[in-house]
Amino acid sequence: MREHPEERPGWQIERRDDAKTVLTIFGPVNYRRTYYRHRETGKRVYLVDRLGSYSGLTLSIGDIALVK
């Protein structure tokens, strides 16, 4: 997403490479994410969190799901 601005219209990179660790029954899952700010609304989010989800029971990233 960071390399393809056309996939995130209106979003600007605010910060890069923030470390994130999620503990699962399979062990820790470590990854780095980019923090974005929307030009018009000022809203700030990690867009990767919209692609993947973590409910406390399941961590989903794309087509991969790790179930607790």
Band of pLDDT at residue 43, cut at 50, 70 and 90: very high
Single pTM value for the model: 0.67
Given a contact cutoff of 8 angstroms between Cβ atoms, the answer to whether 19 and 26 are in contact is: no
Q: What is the pLDDT of residue 18?
A: 93
What would the DSSP string read from start to end of 5-43? Answer: GGGSTTEEEEEEEEEEEEEETTEEEEEEEEEEEETTT--
Tally of domains in the chain: 1
User: What is the rounded distance in angstroms from the CA atom of residue 57 to the CA atom of residue 22?
Assistant: 11
| Whether pLDDT at 24 is above 70 | yes
Show the domain range for 12.
5-67
Tokens of 55: 């409910």
Residue, of 52 and 65, whose pLDDT is higher: 52
